[in-house]
Amino acid sequence: MSSAPPPYTLTDPFPHSVFHRRHPVLVQRLLDAHPYGPAQRTALNALLAESLEGVITPLADPQWHDWDRGHVGQPWAATPFLWAESYFYRRLLEAVGYFETGVDPFGPFKAAELVDLSSFSWVSSSLSTEEALTASLYGNRADLGFQLLTAESSLHSQLVTDDTAAVVEFLLADHLLSRGCSVVLHVKPYPYFVSDATFTDVHDCLRRLRDLPGGVGDRLHAAATDGPLSVRTHPFHVAPLSFADMPADLAVDLGEGLTIFKGDLNYRRLVGDLAWEPTTSFRKAVSYLPGPAVALRILKSDVVVGADPARIDGYEEGWRTSGNYALVSAAI
């Protein structure tokens, strides 16, 4: 991306709060949730202390040597937020021995989320296109229930960017499959951040959905069995870099059809975790992509593009990171 703005770093207020407020809470939750031994507990606390006050120490993983970009050996505080946060989670997996035990440190939290799927037992292929898109966008707000699916919902007033009209034919997996399309779900090759899905998580979710009324789980299971629904991964899906840096084979994969990037982290990687002017064109920020794309995102970090300049002044203080605003952005 030419003439790109600078990246957010850990010296910026929101990234600083993530490392100094959110990460200590996360580490304590992990220590409470797992019977980690002295070595694992010491390693977790050492990682936390290093990330708050120290310099970045290396990993033995050769893949991260390629992704280093010169940050190893430098103070954490001066590091780009996206890179530092990704590295923190990779180091966290090392600290708890994930690659030796295969025990997902975030497993207990994901299991709790699966219980909440009962709130979505009403989802069916009879939804309108706009209703399905809205459900996909706001699906992580389970307490809102069915009112999410009405066109009159006040949630639409919280859309910083709304390209819904341009993408109503491209929806969540079950809705696409019910209309004869093929769907590829891209997952992470290993646990990444807290709630990002792996192959295991997809299988757990499908089993949970089959226990609920509405037939969604049975349809998705049949689609996975027969071929229209497939699940893939790629090492780059856990890279600390923008999708602008993706390798050629992944670019070919994403160029096969419409790619829907869902969630805050994927959005940061999609447009670059950069200090864009928020009214910058989304199409400009993703001009490198090999094919059409849609972004569905609840705003939980600073970076924003495609915002309506006529509405920005009316947003609440901290609107970029409050989780109260969302966007549907399209480059198709």
Question: In this predicted structure, what is the pLDDT of residue 1?
Answer: 45
Q: Alpha helix locations (H) across 105-247? A: 107-115, 129-138, 164-167, 173-177, 199-210, 216-226
Q: Quick one: tokens of 331?
A: 């480059």
Q: Comparing C-alpha atoms, which of 175, 166, 184 is closest to residue 331?
A: 166
| Per-residue pLDDT, 145 | 29
| Residue ranges in the chain modelled with pLDDT below 50 | 1, 122, 142-153
For the chain, the average pLDDT equals: 88
State the pTM of this model.
0.90
Beta-carbon contacts of 196 under 8 Å, excluding residues fewer than 6 positions away, are: 187, 188, 263, 265
Burial of 270 from C-beta contacts in 10 A (0-12 / 13-18 / 19+): buried
pLDDT at 144: 32
Task: Give pLDDT, residue 136.
Answer: 79
Return the pLDDT at 158: 82
Q: How far apart are CA 134 and CA 99, in angstroms?
A: 37
User: What confidence score (pLDDT) does residue 117 get?
Assistant: 66
HSE-up of residue 28 (Cα within 13 Å, Cβ side): 6
Identify each DSSP E strand in the chain by its residue range: 159-162, 183-187, 229-233, 259-262, 293-298, 326-331
* 279: region left, alpha or beta (phi > 0 left; psi from -120 to 50 alpha): alpha
**What span, in angstroms and rounded, lies between the C-alpha atoms of 207 and 204?**
5
The CA dihedral of 281, 292, 191, 78, to the nearest 10 degrees, is -30
Q: What is the pLDDT of residue 204?
A: 93
Q: Which two tokens stand for residue 117?
A: 């799927």
